[in-house]
Structure 1
Amino acid sequence: MQRRLFFALPAQSLASKLHHCQQRLRTEHHKKPVNADNFHLTLHFLGLQDERLLPRLCQAAEQVHVAPFDILLDQYGLFRHARCLWLGPQQSPRPLRELVRQLGEQLKTLDLQVSDDYRPHITLFRNAHGMTQLTAPVLKLAVSEFILYESVSTNDGVLYKPLHRWLLQ
């Protein structure tokens, strides 16, 4: 069976603050807010993968060693092609870059495609058709774990289901 998978940092600890950002930004240009349960910062998107790959993905993730760290989310941005309005860091912290690098190297050993064009962000709106003029808040995301998620389509929209967690240490 095929599963739509991605590695990400959970951002539920900021859910109320991110929801407040959505309320401030909501306009006719920002149509579809992301559900608070789905807030995350993607590390690597894997796309559709055979579920038999899951044990090997877990073994690969076990090889990643990065200490806990913080990310300052302080900039709004817009991916025009994907029509996503997001909040992310102006400067990607070194531990985040190292986490992405180590995980990417492990994924390459499984012959998986790894994007070199990484832009850390938390999506706030989908179907966004314009950039905001508002100044972004400065939110601190404390990172102590990363998660392998499955993206599941439901009648109520997409659900990001955590499959496995790894603590940073």
Structure 2
Amino acid sequence: MPRLFSAIEIPRGIAERLTVLRAGLTGARWIDPENYHLTLRFIGDVDGATARDFTLALSQIEVPPFELRLNGLGSFGGRKPRAIFAGIVPSMALDTLQRANERAAREAGLPPEGRNFKPHVTLARLRGARPDAVAAYLERQGGVDAEPFTVSRFVLYSSRNSVGGGPYVVEAAYDLED
């Protein structure tokens, strides 16, 4: 059974900029830059028929290209931090694409996503990192200085069953067209 998710790839130049943040936090397992992405819809382990149906539904999405920009750093997990991420400036176009991916998942027979969409790029997974150390790291690093980038496609990734972080394989790519 493939483990699938749809996502936006992060351009190489932006990924290289993010690599300068990869130090100074005990308990961080840094994601390789080639695996940076913005998840649109996590599917998980599904059978072949569901994977085919989801792939077909994704191919029907019609959204024009748009721009995104990274916006600051943050962490998930509160008192038990589990990840460091780069945020994304709010975007109606991104929300439209994400909702279309959610509809595709529902058309493939998957249950609705139970979590609210919080667009981000995971930079590190944390294990045993102290909350005060994470807060100090985020304060030291400040914001993320990266130019906007154009989203002209999204992809369907597969991954091995692991704790996350890759490697990911592009199974299909879907161009955005005006």
Tell me the TM-score normalized by structure 1: 0.87
Give the partner amino acid of 2:121: I
SS of residue in 1 equivalent to 2:29: strand
Name segments (4+ residues, structure 1) moved above 3 Å. none
Moved more, 9-18 or 93-102: 9-18
In structure 2, runs of 5+ residues without a counterpart are: none
Q: After the TM superposition, which residues 91-110 of structure 1 pair with which residues of structure 2 at under 5 Å, given as runs?
A: 91-110=89-108
Q: Deviations over 1:30-71 (max 9, x none)?
A: 521101111100000001111232321121012211111111
Say whether residues 1:143 and 2:165 are aligned partners: no
Q: Distance in 1 between matches of 2:66 and 2:27?
A: 31
Task: Confirm or deny: 8 A CA contact 1:30 1:125 kept in the other structure.
Answer: no
* C-alpha displacement of 1:153: 5.2
Deviation at 1:158, TM superposition (A): 3.2
Match of 2:21 in 1: 21
2:38 is aligned, of 37, 41, 49, to: 41
CA distance in 2 between counterparts of 1:111 and 1:56 reads 8
C-alpha distance in structure 1 between counterparts of 2:9 and 2:69, whole Å: 14
Amino acid at match of 1:99: L
Q: What is the Cα deviation at residue 82 of structure 1?
A: 6.5
1:112 aligns with 2:110: yes
Residue number in structure 2 paired with 1:122: 121
Conserved 8 A contact 2:58-2:104: yes
Distance 1:35 1:97 in 2: 26
Tell me the distance in 2 between the aligned counterparts of 1:67 and 1:77: 29
Higher strand share: 1
TM-score, L = length of structure 2: 0.82
Q: Which amino acid is the alignment partner of residue 138 of structure 1?
A: D
Instruction: Please give the residue correspondences for 1:143-162 in structure 2 after superposition, counting only pairs within 5 Å.
Output: 143-152=151-160, 158-162=166-170
CA RMSD of aligned residues (A): 2.0
Give the fraction of aligned pairs with identical amino acids, expressed as a percent: 26
CA contact (8 A) 1:61 1:106 kept: yes
Aligned length: 162
Deviations 1:110-132 (A, max 9, x none): 22123251100011111163231
